[in-house]
Amino acid sequence: MLLFMVMSVKQVCWFRRKEKSMNIEKLTEAKLANMFDHTLLKAFATEADFKKLCEESRENNFKMVAINSYPVAMCKKFLEGSDVHVGAAISFPLGQMTIEGKVKETQDAIDNGADEIDYVLNVGKVKEGDFAYIEKEMQILTDLCKKQGILIKVIFENCYLTKDEMKKLAEIAKKVKPDFIKTSTGFGTGGATVEDVALMKSVVGEAVKVKAAGGIRDWRTCKAMIEAGAERIGTSSSFAILEGFRAEQLK
């Protein structure tokens, strides 16, 4: 059964790569840069670090700065007049907050200027098989964001999940319809994999987009994630990826 499931995921990945190949061929450096959630989630990040992050994002037209909720107002000010979104990570990186706590942190981030929300779901509840709780949490936070015109992403933290659990979460997302489902925080025991992205995308189809994050540090890895179905890339290695893309174009 396990072998069949793994093979199925690989087959899905191959078909998605074949389907996406034309999009990769048409991908420009500007379009690639605009897929990046340029990330700074370190505990010791300072105001100077956030200013640099925002300047880099503005200059390169990255889609979003991915930060914790505290520096949202600061980054919103740094990015004033640009098209770069400010994205707040909620209940990050563990997801072990009450729904009420996540609601309060989300609303606070929105009040401070967040354009997007990436929240970590309660992985413990997934492991307990309490998917009713997961759906309730997802519905409440999705409704909160959509009523205010804020884009929302749900972080699964796949390194702790079985393929069946990922599939079940993706099915819930397809029903609730957050804007994105996301592979990882980057703080777990593993990050994004091509197989997981392909599996997630195979379940949600066009109803929900997929963000790949965690361990994406070069163009080869990034390219594979896009081919598998990712439409947003979370990374702190944006420049290395762009450099790899440029090098490939020169071949």
pLDDT band, very low/low/confident/very high, at 17 (cuts 50, 70, 90) = very low
Parallel/antiparallel/unpaired status of strands 230-235 and 64-68: unpaired
Q: pLDDT value at position 24?
A: 87
Q: Would you state the pLDDT for residue 54?
A: 98
pLDDT band at 251 (very low <50, low <70, confident <90, very high): confident
20, 182, 209, 223: which is the annotated catalytic residue?
182
The total of structural domains in the chain comes to 1
Is the confidence at residue 144, as pLDDT, over 50? yes
The CATH number of the domain holding residue 183 is 3.20.20.70
> Is residue 182 annotated as a catalytic residue, yes or no?
yes
Catalytic residue among 118, 153, 201, 209: 118
Please give the Cα distance from 96 to 125 (Å, whole number). 10
pLDDT bin (cut points 50, 70, 90) of residue 188 is very high
% of the chain beyond a pLDDT of 90:
89
Nearest partner of 214 among 195, 196, 233, judged by Cα = 233
Handedness of CA 89, 91, 95, 101 (dihedral sign): negative
26 counts as catalytic: no
* pLDDT tens digits, 32-86: 999 999 999 999 999 999 999 999 999 999 999 999 999 999 999 999 999 999 9
Structural domain of 6: 2-249
Compute the mean pLDDT over every residue in the chain, rounded to the nearest whole number: 93
Choose the catalytic residue: 153, 201, 209, 211.
211
Map tokens 């401070």 to a residue: 112
The pLDDT value given to residue 6: 43
Residue range 190-245, pLDDT digits in tens: 999 999 999 999 999 999 999 999 999 999 999 999 999 999 999 999 999 999 99
Active site annotation includes 31: no
Q: What global pTM score does this model have?
A: 0.91
